[in-house]
Amino acid sequence: MLAARIAKSLAKRILPKRIRDDLRTLRRLIGYIDYPPVPFDNTYAWLNWAFSQVSNDASPLCKRMPQYIWGIAQGAALARVLGETRISVIEFGVAHGAGLIALESIAKAISELTDVGIDVFGFDTGTGLPPPVDVRDQPNMWYAGQFPMDKQRLLSRLTTAKLYVGPIKDTLPRFINGRPPPIAFASFDMDLYSSTHDALTIFEADHTCLLPRVFSYFDDILGHTYNDFCGERLAISEFNSNHPNIKICPIYGLRYFIPRTAYAMYGWPEGMHITHIFDHKRYNSRDSINKPTSIEIDGTEVWGHPKSHSEL
């Protein structure tokens, strides 16, 4: 440990910042820390192990989507603890399709680790962004037709994912009426306030179509001219105001619970949220197999499989 600290200090003094940044980027691209195997549970210990397993085996395309790896892993882990055998994961805003291809590949890897079946869905207009409605859609950044899709080329690359093409107001009800497995993870990358506003109605679906907590990623909330009164941030705020029993909240401090090398990739943990469905009949079900059962006098936590509510 001392030698490592000395080497790090010397590198900081000797190597130019540009070279140090390049080395950090190379380390991210090569792979993540290989965590030792741990027994399955919906805990950060297991999630970090699963994240490292998928990240180190993934293609370069999947490595660029750590938010998908984490979101699907945690959604699938929660589903397994709750006894669900199949879940849905969604990408809102597919554009050229690289994200959906990665989502499909990552879902397959997470399914093998959790023994939970995972169905993958993508939603997009197919013709690029619709025209911004007003200032809330930030026309200083977005314009009609931006990010169009080559549908046939994308379909030729997909193997299991289902693609819904058209206005979200039309395609989302059709998807919900199909009674998909419970949604465990959803990525929102629709850029506009109006499109995100419509996509968030997914959380108004019947509870049989939703886990009690849905892990959610919002792509367009950091940097640039994003603010609380436009775009995805406004859509989230309005949704929370209009839904007393459903709240979309950031996962505060997630960066402190994941591998350090994972956080270095684009700061994605700040976009991770949980959609809490408080009136869901499974919301109060314990979300991990083991919980701390007591604390010794020296402060050591004792873990175990606590009694169920009916046994108390």
> Mean per-residue pLDDT for 298-310?
70
Number of domains present in the structure of the chain: 1
% of the chain with per-residue pLDDT over 70: 86
Whether 158 is in a domain gets the answer: yes
Of the listed ranges 28-42, 140-154, 282-296, the least confidently predicted one is: 28-42
Cβ pair 96, 135 in contact under 8 A: no
Q: Please give the distance of CA 245 from its chain centroid, rounded to a whole number.
A: 22
* pLDDT digits 0-9 by tens, 242-277: 999 999 999 999 999 987 767 666 789 999 999 999
Mean pLDDT across the chain: 88
Whether 4 is in a domain gets the answer: no
Is a pLDDT exceeding 90 seen at residue 168? yes
> Mean per-residue pLDDT for 140-163?
95
> Mean per-residue pLDDT for 155-160?
94
> What pLDDT, on the 0 to 100 scale, is given for residue 12?
58
Is a pLDDT exceeding 80 seen at residue 19? no
Of 168, 240, 246, 233, the closest CA to residue 206 belongs to 246
Whether 146 is in a domain gets the answer: yes
- The enclosing H or E element of 102 equals helix 98-114
> What pLDDT, on the 0 to 100 scale, is given for residue 91?
98
Residue 247 φ/ψ, nearest 5 degrees:
-135, 135
> What pLDDT, on the 0 to 100 scale, is given for residue 282?
96
Whether 137 is in a domain gets the answer: yes
- Cβ burial, residue 47 (10 Å; 0-12/13-18/19+): buried
Residue 281 φ/ψ, nearest 5 degrees:
-65, -20
H helices then E strands: how many in the chain? Answer: 11, 9
> Mean per-residue pLDDT for 98-117?
96
Of the listed ranges 5-9, 80-84, 104-108, 196-200, the least confidently predicted one is: 5-9
Whether 10 is in a domain gets the answer: no
> What pLDDT, on the 0 to 100 scale, is given for residue 62?
83
Specify the higher pLDDT residue, 59 or 232: 232
SS (H, E, C) 145-160: CCCCCCHHHHHHHCCC
> What pLDDT, on the 0 to 100 scale, is given for residue 302?
79
> What pLDDT, on the 0 to 100 scale, is given for residue 64?
87
Is a pLDDT exceeding 90 seen at residue 139? yes
Reported residue count of the chain is 312
Specify the higher pLDDT residue, 11 or 52: 52
* pLDDT digits 0-9 by tens, 279-289: 999 999 999 99
Specify the higher pLDDT residue, 86 or 260: 86
Whether 21 is in a domain gets the answer: no
Whether 35 is in a domain gets the answer: yes
Is a pLDDT exceeding 90 seen at residue 181? yes
Residue 51's domain spans which residues? 27-306
Is a pLDDT exceeding 60 seen at residue 28? no
Domain CATH number, residue 33: 3.40.50.150
Please name the amino acid found at residue 14.
I
Specify the higher pLDDT residue, 308 or 17: 17
Specify the higher pLDDT residue, 298 or 132: 132
Distance, in Å, from the CA atom of 127 to the CA atom of 140, rounded to the nearest integer, reads: 20
Q: What is the pTM of this model?
A: 0.87
Is a pLDDT exceeding 50 seen at residue 11? yes
* 3-class DSSP assignment, residue 185: strand
> What pLDDT, on the 0 to 100 scale, is given for residue 203?
98
> What pLDDT, on the 0 to 100 scale, is given for residue 10?
55
Distance, in Å, from the CA atom of 184 to the CA atom of 201, rounded to the nearest integer, reads: 15
Whether 171 is in a domain gets the answer: yes
